[in-house]
């Protein structure tokens, strides 16, 4: 299966990407590909641009130079209408779930289906109940988002991300703020749904344990570029100092404990 995947063209290609905002450089010539059918975990310290990459892959941000291709289509060349049509082939689960507050669980999952198709109500009902059943939450279909626990809301967001049967699903920090049981449930769902539905998954996470467990391929980011990529075993055994600092949680290393500042003594005495 893994060899077969390698023969297919990657679903997402990022070439020589440069991006920055508010005077801060996020990417300097990033090259990356996301293979079809696999779960790719993108890991790295906070602020290294992992979530920004998902925004670029979904066309919510545009590269300042370089290209982002989805299924060999350059996102920068698309009109708004074409981009929206392409997004029907993508699903995304946001870090804070981003469920629509004034809709119940059922309507949240039904939302992308209602807005993008003309399916009859009976079919929408069956489809939504199937998606909710997949994540084990058919029983809370009529609950409001604020009545759900963090783990349940995350699973509803997952069901909604899968509502249009996308080819690519992007997960932004899916394990953040969850208890160990909920983390395990979400990790199992990401893995099993990817394989059962033939999806491609991109998981952006800082959670080393769950990320390694769920992924076929891991990419480690630092300082705006990829420092290591490969199967989880390869990453675990990597001797690169940027990788070791992140995986072992070392206080100091390439990512310094102290953010750049002027001289400490001068600062204390108010000398410019």
Partner 1 sequence: MSLLLQIGRFSIAIVQHLGRRGKFLPHLLPGVVVLYKRPKLLIQQLYSIGVMTVLIVAVAGLFVGMMLGFQGYYTLVDFGAESSLGLAVALFLTRELGPVLTALLFAGRAGSAITAEIGLMRMTQQLDAMEMMAVDPMIHVVAPRFFAAFLAMPLLAALFSVVGLGGGYIVSAGLLNVDPGSYWAAMESGVDVYEDVWGGILKSIVFGFVVSWISVFEGYYALPSTNGISKATTRAVVTASLTVLGFDYLLTAIMF
Which residue has tokens 């759900």?
A: 148
Smallest distance from the beta carbon of 237 to partner 1, in angstroms? 36
Smallest distance from the beta carbon of 33 to partner 1, in angstroms? 21
Contact criterion met (CB below 8 Å) for 78 and 238: no
Q: CB-based burial of residue 130 (10 Å sphere; 0-12 exposed, 13-18 middle, 19+ buried)?
A: middle
Nearer to partner 1, 256 or 272 (CB): 272
Three-state SS at 267: helix
Nearer to partner 1, 113 or 227 (CB): 113
Instruction: Return residues touching partner 1 (CB under 8 A).
Output: 55, 58, 60, 80, 84-85, 87-88, 90-92, 94-96, 98-101, 111-112, 115-116, 160, 163-164
Nearer to partner 1, 160 or 183 (CB): 160
Nearer to partner 1, 157 or 186 (CB): 157
Smallest distance from the beta carbon of 43 to partner 1, in angstroms? 21
Question: Element (H or E) spanning 139, and its range?
Answer: none
Nearer to partner 1, 87 or 217 (CB): 87
DSSP letter for 93, please.
Answer: E
Smallest distance from the beta carbon of 98 to partner 1, in angstroms? 4
| Tokens, residue 110 | 């039904």
Smallest distance from the beta carbon of 116 to partner 1, in angstroms? 5
Q: What is the dihedral of CA 148, 154, 157, 163, to 10 degrees?
A: -110
Three-state SS at 95: coil
């Amino acid at each position: 299966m893994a060899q077969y995947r390698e023969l297919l063209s990657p679903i997402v290609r990022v070439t020589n990407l440069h991006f920055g905002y508010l005077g801060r450089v996020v990417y300097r010539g990033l090259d990356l590909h996301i293979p079809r059918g696999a779960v790719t975990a993108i890991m790295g310290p906070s602020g290294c641009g992992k979530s920004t990459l998902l925004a670029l892959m979904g066309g919510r941000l545009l590269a300042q130079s370089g290209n982002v291709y989805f299924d060999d289509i350059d996102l920068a060349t698309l009109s708004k209408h074409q981009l929206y049509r392409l997004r029907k082939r993508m699903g995304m689960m946001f870090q804070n779930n981003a469920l629509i507050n004034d809709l119940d669980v059922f309507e949240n999952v039904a939302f992308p289906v209602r807005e993008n198709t003309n399916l009859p109500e009976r079919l929408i009902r069956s489809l939504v109940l199937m998606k909710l059943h997949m994540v084990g939450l058919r029983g809370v279909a009529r609950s409001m988002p604020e009545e759900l626990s963090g783990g349940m809301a995350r699973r509803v967001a997952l069901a909604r991300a899968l509502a249009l049967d996308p080819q690519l699903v992007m997960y932004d920090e899916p394990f953040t703020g969850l208890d160990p049981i909920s983390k395990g449930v979400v990790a199992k769902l990401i893995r099993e749904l990817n394989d059962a539905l033939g999806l491609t998954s991109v998981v952006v996470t800082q959670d080393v344990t769950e990320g390694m467990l769920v992924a076929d391929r891991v990419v480690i980011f630092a300082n705006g570029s990829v420092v290591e990529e490969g199967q989880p075993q390869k990453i675990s055994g990597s001797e690169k100092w940027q990788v070791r600092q992140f995986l072992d949680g070392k206080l100091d290393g390439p990512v310094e404990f102290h953010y750049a500042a002027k001289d400490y003594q001068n600062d204390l005495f108010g000398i410019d």
